[in-house]
């Protein structure tokens, strides 16, 4: 039995060593090199009390782009994929759009034709699918899409297509007293729906492109906001 016992002891030592190494390395997915070292040096320099580059905890803010920085942006932005998906429901609500471009092209399902849509075409689709509903309804629709939709290439939910090295940077900074923000050209309301679950960043720390809203009351006198087809802030 001794050889077997010795093997278990050796395995335990190896696992313990790996666990210790992982715990000591805040950025395990990063290759050792100048980029990784620069991040570690920056955090150390700005959090070391009495140091020349010390930043007080209340002033520690780190801001990130999202698309192509925190998660994938190719072959198409996730928000655009959401809007293309919503065209079908929009045409059901407004059948007159089925013969109107670019909606006609989208519901045709012709990927090659959809890939040739121009920027004005996409802007028309975004404006039609991201407005006209209450903010609560919009949030519910986005949550449902993220729960059901999968990227056609990776066959994974869109909010799982994040970059692990950048997730580690976010956690590392927060562990050292930094507030992490996202400043994106994407829709502010869209990103705020999933950012906390996906990145650990609360809605109030998301800045993005923002549309207008109209304040109103429903039949029971309850107030609500309706998303308007009006651009208030272009954060691109």
Under 8 Å between Cβ of 229 and 132: yes
Burial of 70 (0-12, 13-18, 19+ CB in 10 A): buried
Which residues are CB-contacts of 182 (< 8 A; sequence separation ≥ 6)?
63, 64, 65, 66, 70, 191, 195, 199, 201, 205, 206, 207, 208
Under 8 Å between Cβ of 194 and 184: no
Residue 19 lies in a domain: no
| pLDDT digit string, tens, across residues 124-171 | 999 999 999 999 999 999 999 999 999 989 999 999 999 999 999 999
Residue 38 has pLDDT above 90, yes or no: yes
Residue 16 lies in a domain: no
> 1 vs 153, which has greater pLDDT?
153
Could you give the angle at the alpha carbon of 136 between the alpha carbons of 133 and 139, nearest 5°?
A: 95
Residue 103 has pLDDT above 70, yes or no: yes
Query: What pTM did the predictor assign?
Result: 0.85
Work out the pLDDT band at 5, boundaries 50, 70, 90.
Answer: low
Reference 172, options 58, 41, 59, 55; nearest CA is 41
Q: Phi and psi of 232, rounded to 5°?
A: -100, -40
Strand order in the sheet with 179-187: 61-64, 179-187, 206-217, 223-233
Query: Is the Cα dihedral 154, 83, 166, 21 positive or negative?
Result: negative
Structure tokens at 9: 């002891």
- Total domain count, the chain: 1
Reference 84, options 66, 102, 96; nearest CA is 102
Residue 11 lies in a domain: no
| pLDDT digit string, tens, across residues 66-88 | 999 999 998 889 999 999 999 99
DSSP 161: -
Residue 24 lies in a domain: no
Residue 8 lies in a domain: no
Residue 12 lies in a domain: no
% residues pLDDT > 70 (the chain) = 90
**Separation in Å, CA 91 to CA 14, 85, 102, 144, 229:** 60, 11, 12, 19, 17
Residue 12 has pLDDT above 60, yes or no: no
Say what the alpha-carbon torsion angle 150, 152, 155, 156 is, to the nearest 10 degrees: -40
Residue 59 has pLDDT above 80, yes or no: yes
Whole-number mean pLDDT of the chain? 91
Q: Residue 102, preceding bond cis, omega within 30 degrees? A: yes
% residues pLDDT > 90 (the chain) = 87
User: Containing domain of residue 115, as a range?
Assistant: 31-233
Residue 17 has pLDDT above 90, yes or no: no
Q: What is the predicted pLDDT for the residue at 39?
A: 98
């Amino acid at each position: 039995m001794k050889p077997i016992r010795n093997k278990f002891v050796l395995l335990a030592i190896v696992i313990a060593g790996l666990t210790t190494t992982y715990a000591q390395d805040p950025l395990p997915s990063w290759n050792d090199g100048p980029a990784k070292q620069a991040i570690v040096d920056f955090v150390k320099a700005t959090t070391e009390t009495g140091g020349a580059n010390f930043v007080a905890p209340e002033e520690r803010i780190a801001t990130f782009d999202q698309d192509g920085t925190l998660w994938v942006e190719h072959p198409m932005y996730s928000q655009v994929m959401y809007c293309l998906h919503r065209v079908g429901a929009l045409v059901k609500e407004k059948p007159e759009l089925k013969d109107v471009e670019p909606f006609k092209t989208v519901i045709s399902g012709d990927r090659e034709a959809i890939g040739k849509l121009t920027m004005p075409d996409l802007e028309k689709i975004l404006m039609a699918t991201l407005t006209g509903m209450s903010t609560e309804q919009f949030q519910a629709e986005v949550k449902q899409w993220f729960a059901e939709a999968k990227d056609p290439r990776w066959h994974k939910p869109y909010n799982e297509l994040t970059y692990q090295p950048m997730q580690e940077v976010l956690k590392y900074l927060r562990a050292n007293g930094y507030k992490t923000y996202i400043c994106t050209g994407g829709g502010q309301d869209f990103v705020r729906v999933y950012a906390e679950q996906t990145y650990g960043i609360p809605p109030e720390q998301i800045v993005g492109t923002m549309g207008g809203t109209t304040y109103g009351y429903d039949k029971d006198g309850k107030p609500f906001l309706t998303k308007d087809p009006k651009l208030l802030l272009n954060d691109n």
